[in-house]
């Protein structure tokens, strides 16, 4: 299983898109507070997120709380940041991998990036671009990780397959 961790996400549409990616891939979505939006049942229903029931979502007060409950995450993680020295394509993703993504306006906390500097990766882009949209970044990294793992549980054939 792949674990997607959003640290203090701010934009509800990004979280909705990422939740849909998690639903489609069977990935677990972990949210680190504070959240910039409401994910109560009422709010999710009002937003029309008809796939939310397919997403395994966990919410944590902070990063320390996540690592207390999931110490194994520290042994198999990657942090995405525009400041990373190497591209995501050089990472070796394995089953049970944890992918961390920072909030839209500031990214991941500096002390967290420094603690796991060897595990920081980025998506290549032109120097003039500040960053990619968070939900796009999650999708690219998630599908690369799943590709490396052989797309576990995802190789159903499309209706055009013969």
Confirm whether residue 127 is marked as ligand binding. no
The conformational region for residue 59 under phi > 0 = left, psi -120 to 50 = alpha, else beta, is beta
Query: How far apart are the C-alpha atoms of 120 and 114, rounded to whole Å?
Result: 9
Confirm whether residue 123 is marked as ligand binding. yes
Q: Residue 78, Cβ neighbours under 10 Å: how many?
A: 21
CB of 2 within 8 A of CB of 122? no
CB of 87 within 8 A of CB of 132? no
Annotated binding site for S-adenosyl-L-methionine: 102, 123, 131
Can you say which residues are annotated as belonging to the binding site? 102, 123, 131
């Amino acid at each position: 299983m792949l674990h997607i961790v959003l640290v203090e996400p701010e934009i509800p549409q990004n979280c909705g898109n990422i939740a849909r990616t998690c639903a489609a891939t069977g990935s677990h979505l972990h949210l680190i507070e504070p959240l910039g939006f409401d994910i109560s049942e009422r709010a999710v229903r009002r937003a029309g997120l008809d796939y939310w029931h397919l997403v395994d979502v966990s919410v944590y007060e902070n990063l320390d709380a996540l690592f207390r409950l999931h110490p194994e995450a520290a042994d198999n993680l990657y942090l995405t940041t525009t400041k990373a020295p190497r591209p995501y394509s050089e990472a070796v993703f394995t089953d049970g991998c944890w992918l961390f993504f920072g909030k839209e306006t500031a990214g991941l906390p500096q002390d967290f990036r420094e603690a796991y500097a060897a595990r920081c990766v980025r998506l290549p882009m032109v120097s003039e671009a500040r960053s990619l949209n968070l939900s796009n970044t999650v999708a690219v990294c998630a599908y690369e990780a799943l590709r490396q793992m052989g797309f576990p549980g995802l190789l159903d054939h499309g209706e055009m397959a013969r």
